[in-house]
Structure 1
Amino acid sequence: MGITVIHSVLLFDGTCVHEAATVIFDSDNGKITSVFTGKSDVPLGAAVIDGTGYTLLPGLIESHMHCDGIILPPGIENIDGLQMSLKCGITTCCDLHSDPDVVKELREAIAVETAKARSLGGMVSTSDLKSALHAATIEDGYPKSYLLGESPSEELKRKIGRWPNVTLANAAEYIKTTKAKGADYIKIFQENCCSFAAKTGSLPSATLELQVALTKAAHAENLLVVAHANNAESTRMVLQAGADGLAHTFVDQSPPQELIDLYKATKAFTIPTLTALATLTGAEQSRRERFADVVQQKNLAAELIHQEMRKSVSWNAPEAKFEYAVQAVTKLKEEGLDIMAGTDSMVGLAGVAIGPSLWMELEMYVDLCGMSVVDALRTATAVPAKRFGLTDRGEVVPGKRADLVLVKGNVTERLQNLWEGDGVVRVWREGLEAAHFIKNR
């Protein structure tokens, strides 16, 4: 415990790259104290790490995941995705719809583990968790009816029965109640099923009037609004309603200029979830299998996880194509709009895994969307920290949380160094080292 000095390291600070940098942080308060180029006198009693040949990054931020394991088959215990994510260098997970009781339990466990590690000189094992809690679902709407299917278990019916039935009459009350329970932001759904292998309009869909009411009420409570929409029509509606960002990009058509212009006018961000859209459409199978191999080789998750990663949902309408999502991300990036890396990962969903799927997401930004490696890294560090209002993280600068990731090799030139070879070798959350890496050194 105490002061740690990492010197002679290639530093990506969340925005820019610095060579031969020194970063000093204090595990007692979890803060970064100094960042500069070159070396200086080492504080007495400090732990010293030679960063030659390594890259130091801010802890990665996963901008779209789900922590409650609601789609796991009956009898299978939920697997802690926050442990998997920390192993991958993700120090903050942003949940976009989970049961408040599950979120509360996980947050309490994080707080207890952190306090114990700080007081006794121990280690941490999970990422930090932000959450929307229960999203603003409507009666019989998406994803309620989609998840219930034809023969739901009694347990699943019980869980989904706890979800809100939001209406114009109770929209403001829902916002206040959700905030009081500890929501960090609000999630809304706009879904007409036109991108799915289901009849368009087969489920009830929220009206523009309701989405406007929810967004206004959330903003009155200083809460950000993130909207589910994976087709152009629904995207247009939630942007018109005033949503701050989209939880997906659209996959039903090439990006129309008027929709790009609406993004620009509203300055909304996008969490593309290319990983999720790839499994929806059955695209990128060889890439999915390659990352499943990484999970298995590095022992990052249980057998169930890397087997599920090899599958795909493949439940898209014929006109919904993965290439449209790639085109949308490319165009939005070219127009200077904010892109935030997220995967829509949840335990039990075919084709994704909390943690390694973020690596796959970043690789697709570089390989398919024309981003530089540094631009891709920004989508998982400084950009989501700024847009989610997480002012204490996302950058390696004095005063911020010591959420740090040390990786063998130059990640800023070759993204694959995050997972290939030695990959991520050490992780700190609030200055406390991750147990997985201590045990494997």
Structure 2
Amino acid sequence: MGKLTIIKHVRVFDGETVSGPKTAVIDGSRIGDDSLADDPDPSAVTVIDGTGCTLLPGLIDCHVHIRDAAQLASCASFGVTTVLDMGCIPPEKSVELRAARGPTTWLGVNLPAYEENSRHGKLFKLFGGVTPDHAVHNTDEAAKFVQDRVDEGVDYIKIIADVPGHEQAVLDRIQAEAEKHGKLTVAHTAQYAAFERSLRAGFDVLTHVPMDKAVDETITERMREQKTVAVPTLSMMEGMTNSWVLWGISWLTLSAERNRSFEAALQSVAGMREAGVPILAGTDANNSGIMTIAAGKSLHHELELLVRAGSTALEALRAATSLAAHHFSLQDRGRVAPGWRADLVLVGGKPDEDITVTQQILRVWSAGEEVPVTAVTRETGCAVM
């Protein structure tokens, strides 16, 4: 038995449903059985009165770009105890982040597969210190790209599927090689055409949603049939449509993206939800200076946007906990159940009824260790007894 923390009279969202008020137990780094709360040694136990509060699994952001270990550590203060990084620039940064031993777990891809003359290719070269040698130019290089990432120990494979970009044969080869190695594939899809290309390739997860045209039943039904997962990153889509800088650049370059529509993004999410496509919470948090989205804090806004797009509050909570853990094969987190990792967030209210309550963070634990909270939004809270 480890150090015990007992939370009494608390509502519990276990990753699926809400129950209680009841007692929850943290036993060392894991969630303990409720029976451990019976007649414990008072000198070895912390007891918290959870009246009026709800206990959640630690939140998971399924799309981030973390700058450094300090930024990674700060995520936990907002209840985000796991992040899935979708590309490190420069690639060497991933070594530091993977080795970080802070309260937020980092998983990542190192470098995504991109075409040298694509928009991402030009941005990587201009701002990221990435050379053309890193780009994927043909199907042979596609196979080498996947092997290199596997050798580096990445957690999944990321591909830029927007156009202009790779030929379809290259996308298809990346998926085939990833399957050989048992690696999940995540495709950047911010255009309708990118969704079509990615579904032809058979990618597992599509991140972003198009703003040039909402996905229709042809797309959503194929996603359902292929068991494709969506990470809409509505926070980024909203930011892009509201950015005067990007709007100006698009008009000056006569880019088709000058017709971005956030409503199309919301409609895409609504259509995917109606079709039964799994939807996960991800923000595209980054510190680029071009379209900065604050890591940790932004996930709470993402949950609001998912609800705005038609999800229920419970569905939004699942998108950032149990569903995220399930689809990225994180077997030890995302739920509140005995034996699971004690990544937990205590909030002051009922987030299953009002999703904004996730912002009323009172306490956070990472592997059973309490994390200093800077995201508290109300003065009253649960008390140590």
Give the TM-score normalised by structure 1: 0.77
Distance 2:59 2:344 in 1: 8
Note the 1:247-266 alignment, pairs <5 A.
Answer: 247-266=207-226
Tell me which residue corresponds to 1:13. Answer: 14
Tell me which residue corresponds to 1:92. Answer: 82
Q: Kindly provide the CA deviation profile for residues 112-154 of structure 1, in whole angstroms up to 9, marking residues without a partner as x.
A: xxxxxxxxxxxx5x41101011111222334121355xxx4xx
- Structure 2 unaligned spans of 5+: 251-256
Note the 1:335-350 alignment, pairs <5 A.
Answer: 335-347=275-287, 348-350=289-291
CA-CA distance at 1:24 after TM superposition: 1.4
1:191 has 2:137 as partner: no
Query: Which one-letter code corresponds to 2:32 in the other structure?
Result: T
1:140 has 2:110 as partner: no
Task: Please state whether the residue corresponding to 1:279 is helix, strand or coil.
Answer: helix
Note the 1:39-438 alignment, pairs <5 A.
Answer: 40-44=37-41, 45-68=44-67, 80-98=70-88, 99-110=90-101, 126-148=103-125, 152=126, 156=127, 158-159=129-130, 163-192=134-163, 201=164, 205-282=165-242, 313-314=246-247, 317-347=257-287, 348-366=289-307, 368-419=308-359, 423-436=360-373
- Structure 1 unaligned spans of 5+: 69-77, 111-123, 193-200, 284-310
Distance 1:35 1:234 in 2: 48
CA contact (8 A) 1:346 1:354 kept: yes
Distance 2:131 2:66 in 1: 15
CA contact (8 A) 2:205 2:229 kept: yes
Task: Please state whether the residue corresponding to 2:298 is helix, strand or coil.
Answer: helix
CA-CA distance at 1:402 after TM superposition: 0.5
Distance 1:160 1:397, change over 3 A: farther
Distance 2:105 2:155 in 1: 13
Distance 1:97 1:340 in 2: 18
Q: Kindly provide the CA deviation profile for residues 375-398 of structure 1, in whole angstroms up to 9, marking residues without a partner as x.
A: 111110011100001111111111
Distance 1:257 1:328 in 2: 10
Give the TM-score normalised by structure 2: 0.88
Distance 1:235 1:35, change over 3 A: farther
Identity of aligned residues (%): 31
Tell me which residue corresponds to 1:24. Answer: 25
CA-CA distance at 1:351 after TM superposition: 4.9
Distance 1:79 1:92 in 2: 13
Distance 1:391 1:35, change over 3 A: farther
CA contact (8 A) 1:326 1:369 kept: yes
CA-CA distance at 1:313 after TM superposition: 4.4
Superposition CA RMSD, Å = 2.5
CA-CA distance at 1:410 after TM superposition: 1.8
Distance 2:216 2:304 in 1: 25
CA-CA distance at 1:414 after TM superposition: 1.7
